[in-house]
Chains A and B, each alone.
Chain A
């Protein structure tokens, strides 16, 4: 870590800083102007995965995906990114399975990294190949808390948030954070730069066609990431009526419509991952992925069979069939 020179009175003293430049520069005025231009009236945004990714995600965009592990992952959207081969992406790597699929497909060039393991199943071979082999050109380290607070800073519309994570470690040294002496307490504090995403992908339990979303159970970093995204694509297990569902319980709207650019109806949208309260992880299909992804040939087979040879999400689900999917339902009688 580098130590700052004495600074003139009245300015913040930078005590240490990470050596990595920001992958996504902070442009709050651009973010405000973009947000001003978004429609504030109710506009029908229902469309397919194909249209949503085609219209709103571009090569070299900075992409963020929620949630974590294999849980509430927007997998139908992720598969469409792979299908359309939208490459040279910069990615906030706080997910697991979806980030792994994008890394396996070679679509990621730079990574704000927190964790890419496969939880119970150890380190991801696809991520390891991509990073150790140099396919990913730049890896910037963060903690999960730090990355979430970076979204929160963007959601607040401010350039950074102070935090007591990351201090004193190599995680900070290989990040883009700075440590300053707090002008109020005189103690060192880490400053985490705001992270405004070009595109965010979030899978929710239900949404109306305008983009008002409800999530059951833990909400991960959905609220913060949605508000940190310039363009937001949500997929939903169920499309619901605005008057009878959304307006009946407005307190449950965790993502408001004006943040959202596209609403995609994606039942089993997290498959092979799980969806709290609806369905379990498809252990058999996930194991097939884990087995195949161990080698490069296997990975290509997986991408071809699961994504490229299937036209859309309906086609993907048809590979498994109703009975197999219904068996994952957690609401079924015991």
Chain B
């Protein structure tokens, strides 16, 4: 069978969905993480426990939520509580994965979703932290979903909204953030990155179909480390695309 056509959003969703582990808790934000969680529940992770910041835990994502506080975030859910309960649950160490996005990311996985330019005279005002700072502080392993480009993968974020590894090894712990937590993966339209165990620097692990290592490095605004063996990510399967298009986002809000 020939490989079906797909768009960049569909690829990002499939890559993110494949990272979701069956039976794990995952803090889900607006947009691609919602679609990815819904796809994962229908593929390899039927027992994935989505956690939404305004109180939904364990929803079955039959209908795509449009916001992190809407009624689909606790559709057939196990718990409908409130934001303090959810954030405190993450702070106590119950939430394994956290999905994040942003306008800028640096080599240590610090994220900016607040402002481009100076804070008091912004060039572009962005939506702000929302729950991102809490997710990046408290979840054990965070996964950032980003579009690649030199303007996005930057040497220094204009504003650190959400903590990654801050200034490098040991910096999170020195700042008082929970030990052993922090950035785990970055999923982009060019590839999937992890972080070097010793230096905590972003490291290219695998490239997307048709993408070369050089291309990723060219599109990155800091010197990206490259894993000794760079894998190739399989493209979205016909089954993944069918579920996405027919069941998850038939109105094509995202894809």
Q: Which A residues contact B (CB, under 8 angstroms)? A: 67-72, 93, 96, 113-117, 119-120, 123-124, 127-128, 131-132, 139, 141-146, 148-149, 152, 163-171, 174, 179, 187-190, 217-224, 274, 276-277, 281, 330
Contacts and interface: CB of A to CB of B under 8 A. Distances in A.
22 contacts: A96-B67, A113-B128, A119-B66, A120-B66, A120-B67, A131-B122, A132-B125, A141-B128, A145-B84, A145-B131, A146-B134, A148-B83, A148-B87, A149-B87, A169-B160, A169-B163, A171-B129, A218-B55, A218-B74, A218-B80, A218-B82, A220-B69
Contacts of A222: 82
Interface residues of B, number: 55
A21 B118 CA distance: 18
Interface string B153-164: 000000111110
B165 to A, nearest CB: 10
Interface stretch (B1-9, B140-148, B172-180, B209-217): B172-180
A120 B31 contact: yes
A131 to B, nearest CB: 5
Given A68-B54, A131-B122, A220-B54, A143 B130 contact: yes
Contact of A219 (B80, B127, B130, B131): B80
B132 interface: yes
Nearest to B112: A170
A117 B69 CA distance: 13
Q: Which 7 A-B pairs have the closest CB atoms?
A: A117-B127, A218-B55, A69-B67, A188-B176, A168-B175, A115-B130, A68-B69
A218 B56 contact: yes
B67 A70 contact: yes
Contact of A144 (B122, B130, B138, B176): B130
Interface in B61-95: 66-71, 73-74, 80-84, 87, 91
Main secondary structure of the interface of A (DSSP, over half): mixed
A71 B129 CA distance: 19
A276 B80 CA distance: 11
A289 to B, nearest CB: 15
B124 interface: yes
Given A120-B67, A218-B54, A168 B172 contact: yes
A174 B53 CA distance: 23
Contacts of B125: 123, 127-128, 131-132
Contacts of A131: 122, 125
Given A116-B127, A120-B30, A69 B161 contact: no
B115 to A, nearest CB: 9
Nearest to A1: B175
Interface string B35-72: 00000000000000000111110000000001111110
Contacts of B66: 69, 119-120, 281
B25 interface: no
A73 to B, nearest CB: 10
B188 interface: no
B166 interface: yes
Given A114-B130, A170-B114, A217-B71, 11 more contacts: A69-B70, A123-B127, A141-B128, A144-B130, A164-B138, A165-B134, A168-B171, A174-B159, A179-B176, A218-B54, A218-B56
